[in-house]
């Protein structure tokens, strides 16, 4: 009897450990998806805030331009936005991508009302005005959008309009696919996004309109086995999407579920193995019991007491071996081996959980690197350049310290591509990027702004210091040949006292100075203040 109880206890403990480990894996996946959504919401909202703070946005809110260059620039190379536009304070759309809704009044739309007060993201909803203007979804489901809005303010800080954007909700599917492995998908792991009321925003179509399971008690806690509204039993974990900004807090929850029979197959197998082993030992004990009943009473009582301690979680409790009969001693040794197996299984499972958690963290780090780094040169990409420029301007403006900005361009780069091929052009870009990075100071910021252009931010640097840094960079690039291209030079446009200007003015000024340096013969530095009235854009070399 005691042996049967011990087998049941050990089998139950093994199953609990296996189930807990699988629950930790699902919880880690839910946390990774929630962090990916948090980062995506924050980045999209920050993009809209940066666009709303530009002079182009103010001009579009106060007049009707012939073409919206700001919106065109925001949509170049991006499929995130289904619609982006500018409305004045009366709610009339002044400009939008492809002219969609221009002239329409959006005053009663929730995104416009919230955008008049603060930057904010709105919850998922079916398209209203845009439903008939945008392409239908591939599976003919209603088009659903996610809103972002930010107020447009003039120089006095008064609201003159709202910049709004709609993202196709299929974005949620892309975020989940990027985090969830194909192996998890094949094992029936499903990921849901719920709003604060528990309604399904993303998940199987049949569950979107049906009441779902209540998971509030699971948020950021341990995974549990639950019965869902579709009648199935699932191992379920839930995590709240963290808010990186007040306007991006939508109260969403990420819920991950896996069919119970798939999730717990390892737990059931381990439990059955222990039960079979216990059954075999019990049969042997029954055959010997009638011979040694009186002599084994005391050791069996000790074994039963040890079993109760193991049931209470003391897995490392040594099993008494007994000294009256060889048979009793063998039983104690067999049970001791079973206990050791349980401890080893627990340690192995914990190691697996730690390994899979580390893999998820590595995947998250790689996603973050891909989102912020240029794949060819390894430098920060244009999105990070724009954000860093805005941050540096605000910081230096608050501290009244000098900030200089360099916009550098490789001379005759088109000629290198045309004559030597794009592979050699890539080599030149990589080599120049490394020379700029090595020559700059630790406090400087170096990024690839686009094509053969590089943006360099020089904190706490006045005009004289900035010119010295720029001369060192020109000399470092021209000091030795690069592959088949030979000696390569760069030209630089310098904008000093950048903290006193808007980001668009700084970039336009540095670009004008760079054009002047090209016009004067290349391989030189020109300050914006010395560039003269260069108003046209540089043409392709």
Query: Would you kindly state where each structural domain of the chain is located, as residue ranges?
Result: 2-15+267-369, 19-42+173-265, 52-162, 382-530
Q: How high is the pLDDT of residue 534?
A: 41
Q: Are 521 and 488 in contact (CB under 8 A)?
A: no
Q: How high is the pLDDT of residue 264?
A: 77
pLDDT level of residue 362 (50, 70, 90 thresholds) = confident
Q: What percent of the chain has pLDDT over 90?
A: 38
From 19-33, 132-146, 517-531, the region with the lowest mean pLDDT: 132-146
Q: How high is the pLDDT of residue 443?
A: 92
pLDDT level of residue 346 (50, 70, 90 thresholds) = low
Query: Average pLDDT, stretch 111-126?
Result: 90
Mean pLDDT of the chain: 81
Q: How high is the pLDDT of residue 19?
A: 78
Q: How high is the pLDDT of residue 72?
A: 57
pLDDT over threshold 70, residue 280: no
Q: How high is the pLDDT of residue 11?
A: 54
Q: Kindly state which CATH superfamily the domain 382-530 is placed in.
A: Reverse transcriptase/Diguanylate cyclase domain (3.30.70.270)
Query: Average pLDDT, stretch 32-56?
Result: 89
From 148-162, 246-260, 346-360, 502-516, the region with the lowest mean pLDDT: 346-360
Query: Average pLDDT, stretch 5-22?
Result: 67
Where do the H-state alpha helices sit in 76-204? Answer: 110-115, 170-179, 182-186
pLDDT level of residue 23 (50, 70, 90 thresholds) = confident
Whole-angstrom Cα distance, residue 219 to residue 99? 43
Whole-angstrom Cα distance, residue 455 to residue 377? 13
pLDDT over threshold 60, residue 260: yes
pLDDT level of residue 55 (50, 70, 90 thresholds) = confident
Top pLDDT among 116 and 355 is at 116
Query: Average pLDDT, stretch 399-424?
Result: 94
pLDDT over threshold 50, residue 64: yes
Where do the H-state alpha helices sit in 63-109? Answer: 69-75
CATH class in words for 19-42+173-265: alpha beta
Q: How high is the pLDDT of residue 475?
A: 96
Query: Average pLDDT, stretch 327-339?
Result: 68
Where is 84: in which H helix or E strand? strand 81-88
From 14-18, 69-73, 122-126, 452-456, the region with the lowest mean pLDDT: 69-73
Where do the H-state alpha helices sit in 312-405? Answer: 326-372, 382-399
CATH class in words for 52-162: alpha beta
Asked if the domains at 19-42+173-265 and 382-530 fall in one CATH topology, the answer is no
pLDDT over threshold 50, residue 537: no
Owner of token pair 């982006």: 84
Q: How high is the pLDDT of residue 270?
A: 56
Whole-angstrom Cα distance, residue 416 to residue 411? 9
How many CA atoms are closer than 13 Å to the CA of 95, on its beta-carbon side? 22
pLDDT tens string 484-532:
999 999 999 999 988 889 999 999 999 999 999 999 999 999 999 775 5
pLDDT over threshold 70, residue 273: no
Q: How high is the pLDDT of residue 276?
A: 64
Q: How high is the pLDDT of residue 199?
A: 82
pTM over 0.85: no
pLDDT tens string 392-410:
999 999 999 999 999 999 9
């Amino acid at each position: 009897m005691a042996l049967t109880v011990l087998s049941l206890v050990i089998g139950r403990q093994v199953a609990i450990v296996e189930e807990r480990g699988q629950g930790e894996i699902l919880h880690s996946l839910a946390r990774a998806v929630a962090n990916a959504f948090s980062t995506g919401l924050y980045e999209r909202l920050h993009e809209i805030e940066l666009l709303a703070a530009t002079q182009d946005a103010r001009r579009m809110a106060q007049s009707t331009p012939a073409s919206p260059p700001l919106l065109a620039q925001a949509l170049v190379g991006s499929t995130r936005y289904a619609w982006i536009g500018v409305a004045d304070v009366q709610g009339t759309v002044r400009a939008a991508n492809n002219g969609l809704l221009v002239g329409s009044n959006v005053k009663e739309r929730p995104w416009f009302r919230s955008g008049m007060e603060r930057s904010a993201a709105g919850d998922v909803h079916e398209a209203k005005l845009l439903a008939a203007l945008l392409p239908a979804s591939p599976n003919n489901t209603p088009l659903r959008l996610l809103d972002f809005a930010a107020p447009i303010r003039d120089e006095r800080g008064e609201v003159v309009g709202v910049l709004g954007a709609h993202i196709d909700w299929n974005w949620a599917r892309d975020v989940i696919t990027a985090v969830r492995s194909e192996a998890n998908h094949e094992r029936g792991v499903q990921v849901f996004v719920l709003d604060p009321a528990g309604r399904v925003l993303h998940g199987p179509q049949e569950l979107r309109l049906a009441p779902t399971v209540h998971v509030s008690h699971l948020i950021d806690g341990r995974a549990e086995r639950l019965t869902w509204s579709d009648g199935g039993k699932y191992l379920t974990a839930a995590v709240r999407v963290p808010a990186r900004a007040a306007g991006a807090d939508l109260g969403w929850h990420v819920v991950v579920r896996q069919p119970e029979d798939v999730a717990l197959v390892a737990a059931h197998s381990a439990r059955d193995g222990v039960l079979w082993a216990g059954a075999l030992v019990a049969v042997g004990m029954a055959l010997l019991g009638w011979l040694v009943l009186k002599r084994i009473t005391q050791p069996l009582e000790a074994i039963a007491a040890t079993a109760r301690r193991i049931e209470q979680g003391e897995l490392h409790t040594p099993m008494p071996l007994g000294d009256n009969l060889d048979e009793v001693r063998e039983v104690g040794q067999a049970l001791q081996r079973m206990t050791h197996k349980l401890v080893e299984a627990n340690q192995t499972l914990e190691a697996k959980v730690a390994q899979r958690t580390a893999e998820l963290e590595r995947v998250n780090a790689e996603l973050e690197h891909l989102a912020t780094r240029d794949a060819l040169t390894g430098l920060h990409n244009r999105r990070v350049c724009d954000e860093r420029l805005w941050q540096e301007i605000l910081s230096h403006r608050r501290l009244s310290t000098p900030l200089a900005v360099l916009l550098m361009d490789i001379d005759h780069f088109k000629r290198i591509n045309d004559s030597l091929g794009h592979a050699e052009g890539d080599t030149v870009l990589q080599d120049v990027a490394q020379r700029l990075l090595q020559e700059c100071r630790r406090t400087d910021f170096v990024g690839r702004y686009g094509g053969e252009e590089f943006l360099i931010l020089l904190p706490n640097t006045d005009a004289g210091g900035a010119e010295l840094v720029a001369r060192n960079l020109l000399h470092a690039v021209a000091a030795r040949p690069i592959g088949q291209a030979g000696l390569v030079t760069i030209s630089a446009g310098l904008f000093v006292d950048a903290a006193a200007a808007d980001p668009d003015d700084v970039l336009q000024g540095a670009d004008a100075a760079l054009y002047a340096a090209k016009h004067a013969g290349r391989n030189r530095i020109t300050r914006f203040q010395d560039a003269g009235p260069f108003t046209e854009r540089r043409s392709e070399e």
